[in-house]
Amino acid sequence: MDVAELVARFSTAAADDYPHKAAVAVINELKDDLDGVADAMSYLTGSGGNALQAFYRAQNLSLLKVRFPDGRRTPPHDHGTWAAILVLSGSEKNSLYKRNDDGSLTYERSVDLAQGDVIFMPAGAVHVAECTSDQPAIGLHVYGGNVLGLERKMWDPDTLEEQELDWSKYEGLAQRASAADKAPLS
Ligand SMILES: [Fe+2]
């Protein structure tokens, strides 16, 4: 397994008539070789900025290694497209929300993910991800578009005010989200 193979397999999936289903099928195949996937992405830190996470971006596909250290929690955000996560090591909790027509959020449920677990989120899904293990939660994140360029939303973790996802403001929200006891409304 090398990173070119990951890109090739997901690129084929992204060209399918049902790209999200094809991509999830590839992810399920990769469950048999979690170490191989981790090795293929080992040259990326997976944290410290998107340039250290993304290893492929096209109009119909993004592939990222994401590393959440212990204590790290995201603010609520969407992805502007479908998203799927394969946990390679550590564990994480995903809190899922419904976006109401006025931009407010309704908490729906939380999903705990351990090594080898997968979560799929349709376009429009809103979530908070947080590390729940002592060791970092490291995952392969797959998106059905150019996830760093799409129009996206994020929510202030304290006021739950909806705003455009602006990377220059995201980290401040993430730090406040991480300082909280739990995900908003959960
Ligand atoms: Fe996300």
Tell how far the Cα of 128 is from the centroid of ligand 1, in angstroms: 7
CB 1 within 8 A of CB 37: yes
In angstroms, what is the span from residue 74 Cα to ligand 1's centroid? Answer: 8
- Predicted local distance difference test score (pLDDT) of residue 50: 81
Condensed to tens digits (0 to 9), the pLDDT of residues 129-147 reads: 999 999 999 999 999 999 9
What's the average model confidence in pLDDT over 42-62?
92
109 C-alpha vs ligand 1 centroid, how far in Å? Answer: 15
- Segment 83-115, tens digit of pLDDT: 999 999 999 999 999 999 999 999 999 999 999
Max intra-chain CA distance, the chain:
45
For residue 131, give the nearest of 85, 162, 81 by alpha carbon.
85
Separation of CA 162 and ligand 1 centre (Å): 15
pLDDT-based confidence at residue 69 (cuts at 50, 70, 90): very high
CA of 77 to the centre of ligand 1 (A): 6
Q: Where residue 49 falls among pLDDT bands split at 50, 70, 90?
A: confident
Strands 54-58 and 126-131: unpaired
- pLDDT attached to residue 122: 97
CA of 127 to the centre of ligand 1 (A): 6
Task: Output the pLDDT for position 48.
Answer: 78
**Domains and their CATH numbers in the chain:** 3-179 (2.60.120.10)
Residue 51 or residue 82, greater confidence: 82
